[in-house]
Chain A
Amino acid sequence: MNRILITGAAGFIGSNLAEALIAEGHSVVGLDNLSQGDLRNLAACQNHERFSFHKGDIRDATLMDELISGVDTVYHMAAFKIPRYSSALDTLRVNTHGTRVVLDAAARHDVHAIIASTSDCYGRNPAVPFHEQSDMWMGASSVKRWAYAVSKMFDEHLCYALREHSKLRFTIIRFFGGYGPHQNLTWWGGPQSVFIGAALRDQELELHGDGQQTRSFTFIGDNVNGLMRCLNNDKALGQAFNLGNTREITIEGLARMIWRMAGVGEPKIKRISYRTFGKYEDVMRRVPDISKARELLGYEPRTDLEQGLPITIDWQRRVMAENAGGNA
Chain B
Amino acid sequence: MSERAVCITGAAGFLGSSLAARLLRDGYTVSGLDDFSHGDPSRIEHLAGHKNFRFIEGDVRNETAVAEAVAGCGQVVHLAELKIPRYGHALDTLEVNAVGVEMVLDAARKAGAAFVLGSTDEVYGKNADASLNEESVLVMGRTDSSRWSLGVSKLMAEQLTLAFRDEYQLPVTILRYFGLYGPGQATDWTGGPQAVFVTNALKNEALPIHGDGLQIRTFTHIDDAVQGTVLALEQPYARDEIVNIAGRDHVNILNLAYMVWRLSRNPAKPLLEFTPYSDFTPNYEDVSQRIADITKARYLLGFDPRIPLESGFSATIEWQAKVLGLSPGGR
A contact set with B: CB distance below 8 Å: 87-89, 92-93, 96, 121, 123-125, 132-142, 144, 146-147, 150-151, 153-154, 156-162, 164-165, 172, 240
Contacts and interface: CB of A to CB of B under 8 A. Distances in A.
Contacts of B47: none
A59 B149 CA distance: 22
Interface string B71-114: 00000000000000000011101100010001000000000000
Contacts of B242: 140-142
Contacts of A138: 137-140, 155
A139 B137 CA distance: 5
B163 A144 contact: yes
Contact of A158 (B94, B139, B162): B94
Of the candidates A123, A144, A153, A162, the one having the most CB atoms from chain B within 10 angstroms of its own CB is: A153
A88 B163 contact: yes
A133 B144 CA distance: 9
Contacts of A121: 143
A220 B142 CA distance: 26
A121 B174 CA distance: 23
B208 to A, nearest CB: 24
B144 A160 contact: yes
Contacts of B125: 135
B273 interface: no
Contacts, number: 120
Contact of A88 (B126, B139, B162): B162
B152 A157 contact: yes
Interface in B240-256: 242
A162 B91 contact: yes
B135 interface: yes
Given A142-B242, A154-B153, A172-B143, 5 more contacts: A89-B163, A147-B159, A161-B90, A162-B91, A240-B144
Contacts of B326: none
A137 B89 contact: no
Nearest to A93: B102
A144 B162 contact: yes
Contact of A133 (B90, B142, B159, B174): B142
Nearest to B119: A141
B160 A92 contact: yes
A160 B166 contact: no
Given A164-B90, A164-B91, A153 B155 contact: yes
Contact of B137 (A124, A133, A157, A240): A124
Contacts of B134: 140
Nearest to A158: B94
B167 interface: yes
18 contacts: A87-B167, A89-B167, A96-B156, A125-B139, A137-B137, A140-B136, A141-B162, A150-B152, A150-B159, A154-B155, A157-B90, A157-B94, A157-B153, A158-B94, A160-B144, A160-B146, A162-B91, A164-B91
